């Protein structure tokens, strides 16, 4: 009896120790938990911050994904805060200064996420990529470039694509005037002449806010001439300069458009929304613009106005160093993981990130007529026909840099105003020198 009693006490003690080990706090390490599989059923608390606070379809889709996660993970208490866009960056910066980041938070690709990494506030979400390699491989080329701060580690998965240089065109006007949809520069200039001869503006442009021509036209146009590698070297001042003949040629192509009246009179005096309306009303045959035009036209144009609109990429440049069929743009924001989140809470946080940015999440966001960097078939979904056309173009395209995402603030302002100067008769050499001087000052600091 004594031996049996001893055995019972020993078993009870072992069970107690096991229970204590499994029932630790939210951040206690555990063995065998698999990211994105709900590996732990521990009661945990998570905080998630984002800026999808509006009534637009994309914001509703993201909030819906978070709510769905809550309902399918009853062991996770989620404190979700939707912060209006205007106040989001300042509030996130405030908690970052005190190293009090939420467990999961929306972060913009590029400088903001880089700053958080440099401050030691992020940890990689690479476990998701390792667990779901097919998911990772299904992103468009370049999707993780702005979220990769060290080799073989990714710190977010984009839930948006900032595509800035779609070529929208009115097929009815092209057919009426027997104009070929241009695939080369010479074909584009032929189209410009034909439409001008028939009293139709070739390309609608609203460049009152001078970022428009830079973001929508010069990034793709210049890349066709210089190639991406040259631009990245010029940004760093590493063996390339914006005064190089190849960039003068690129600026010369933009000036050629302006000198040949490709844009409507007063393009520097009207805004992008006015240009969209000018285009959709049939006054212009083409418009080079970003994915935001899809949203704007869906809200403001009739089905009859949108029906003849097709989408492609800007033409290639004969003899240029850059590839054809590319779009300027980059990854939009994604959800990041705080460095301080560990153990069961970390596993739950990875689950949550995957719930938003995994295949199902990407599809629901895309179905809100928002561009994503994830390849899928949306033909049978409820997206608008114009969005579907643009998405099919984007998923086959290589993404090239938008200038102001890589240039210093001063240099970006220089090229913005420089393009306005070219449209008013300025010289490409003067614009190039101002740009080079501005960027050189930033690299020397």
Check residue 40 and give its pLDDT. 52
In the sheet that 309-313 helps form, which strands lie side by side, from edge to edge? 201-204, 284-289, 166-170, 309-313
Check residue 293 and give its pLDDT. 93
Structure tokens at 288: 């080079």
Check residue 382 and give its pLDDT. 82
Residues in Cβ contact with 100 at an 8 Å cutoff, skipping those fewer than 6 apart: none
Check residue 111 and give its pLDDT. 79
Check residue 17 and give its pLDDT. 37
Contact 95, 101 (CB under 8 A): yes
Structure tokens at 329: 């743009």
Q: Residue 89 to residues 61, 85, 107, 157: CA-CA distances in angstroms?
A: 21, 8, 9, 19
Provide block-wise average pLDDT over 10 residues at a time, the chain (445 residues): 39 38 38 41 91 92 97 97 94 94 94 92 98 96 92 96 96 98 98 98 96 96 98 96 98 98 96 96 97 88 95 97 95 96 97 98 93 92 91 93 91 96 97 97 78
DSSP 70-103: HHH-TTEEEEEEE--HHHHHHHHHHHHHTT---S
Check residue 102 and give its pLDDT. 98
Check residue 29 and give its pLDDT. 35
Nearest to 157 by CA among 27, 289, 295, 35: 35
Check residue 379 and give its pLDDT. 86
Angstrom distance (rounded) from CA 350 to CA 95: 21
């Amino acid at each position: 009896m004594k031996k049996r009693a001893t055995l019972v006490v020993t078993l009870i003690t072992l069970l107690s120790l096991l229970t204590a080990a499994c029932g630790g706090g939210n951040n206690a390490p555990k063995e065998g938990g698999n990211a994105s599989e709900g590996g732990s059923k521990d009661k945990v608390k998570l905080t998630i911050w984002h800026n999808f606070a509006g009534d637009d379809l994309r914001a509703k889709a993201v909030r819906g994904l978070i709510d769905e996660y809550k309902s399918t993970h009853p062991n996770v208490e989620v404190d979700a805060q939707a912060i209006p866009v205007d106040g989001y960056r300042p509030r996130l910066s405030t908690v970052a200064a005190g190293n009090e980041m939420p467990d999961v938070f929306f972060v913009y690709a590029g400088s903001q996420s880089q700053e958080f990494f440099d401050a030691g506030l992020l940890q990689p979400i690479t476990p998701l990529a390792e667990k779901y390699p097919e998911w990772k491989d299904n992103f468009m080329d370049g999707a993780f470039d702005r979220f990769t701060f060290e080799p073989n580690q990714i710190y977010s998965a984009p839930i948006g694509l900032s595509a800035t240089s779609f070529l929208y065109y009115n097929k009815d006007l092209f057919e009426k005037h027997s104009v070929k949809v241009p695939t080369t520069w010479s074909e584009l200039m032929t189209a410009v002449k034909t439409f001008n001869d028939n009293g139709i503006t070739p390309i609608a442009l609203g460049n009152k806010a001078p970022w428009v021509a830079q973001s929508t036209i010069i990034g793709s146009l210049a890349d066709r001439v210089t190639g991406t590698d040259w631009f990245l070297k010029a940004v760093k001042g590493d063996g390339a300069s914006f005064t190089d003949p190849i960039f003068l040629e690129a600026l010369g192509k933009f000036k050629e458009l302006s000198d040949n009246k490709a844009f409507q009179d007063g393009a520097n005096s009207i805004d992008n929304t006015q240009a969209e309306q000018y285009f959709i009303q049939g006054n212009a045959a083409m418009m080079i613009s970003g994915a935001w035009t899809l949203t704007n036209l869906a809200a403001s144009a009739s089905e009859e106005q949108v029906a003849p609109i097709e989408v492609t990429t800007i033409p290639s440049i004969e003899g240029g160093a850059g590839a054809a069929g590319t779009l300027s743009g980059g990854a939009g924001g994604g959800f990041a993981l705080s460095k301080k989140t560990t153990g069961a809470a970390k596993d739950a946080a990875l689950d949550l990130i995957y719930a938003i940015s995994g295949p199902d999440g990407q599809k629901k966001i895309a179905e809100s007529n928002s561009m994503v960097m994830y390849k899928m078939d949306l033909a049978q979904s409820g997206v608008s026909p114009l969005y579907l056309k643009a998405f099919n173009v984007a998923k086959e395209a290589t993404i090239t840099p938008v200038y102001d995402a890589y240039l210093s603030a001063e240099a970006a302002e220089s090229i913005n105003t420089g393009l306005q100067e070219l449209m008013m008769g300025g010289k490409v050499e003067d614009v190039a020198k101002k740009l080079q001087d501005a960027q050189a000052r930033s690299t020397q600091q």
